[in-house]
Structure 1
Amino acid sequence: MDARLAAIESTRFNVVANLAFTWAGEDLAQPVRYFMAIANAPSPTKDALSLGLLEGALDPDGHGLQGVLELTAEGRLLVRRFRRRAGSGFV
């Protein structure tokens, strides 16, 4: 596996877990509509965007952000790996 993805898995576990939770039971190729209540708050979703695991745009909506995001190929790979590990009890 690419060293960058291994580093994300080990150091940004919260980001990968958030993506797996968001797409739980969903098709990983389907986009998801996001609504974030506070635009300037730290967020695993915004971190996933900056890491290139999500693509799309979050646009200002009052004090929050909203938009449609989808997993990139790297994001789908990390979510699949997370699901396999969760199923085997090694999360």
Structure 2
Amino acid sequence: VIIMSDHGMEEASCDRATFVTNYQQHTSDFIIIQGPAARIRPKRLPDDYFSFDYEGLVKNLSCRTPEQPMRPYLKENLPKRMHFA
């Protein structure tokens, strides 16, 4: 799971802040890597690389509230407009 943001190009607001723990109860199975290439990955790599439930994680982070300030994507489903190289 890749995390994307506007990198400060838009005005920030604490009202729009969100926390993964608001959407996912079992956060001990993965870690969130912060920075310009932020992402969520299994905590136990390489052991859990193929057995980790990536789709389940995205499903739990999707459409949970009417005005959710984020949209999760699996790498292969990331819209073309968000591809940067």
TM-score by length of 1: 0.27
Structure number with the higher strand fraction is 1
Structure number with the higher helix fraction is 1
TM-score by length of 2: 0.28
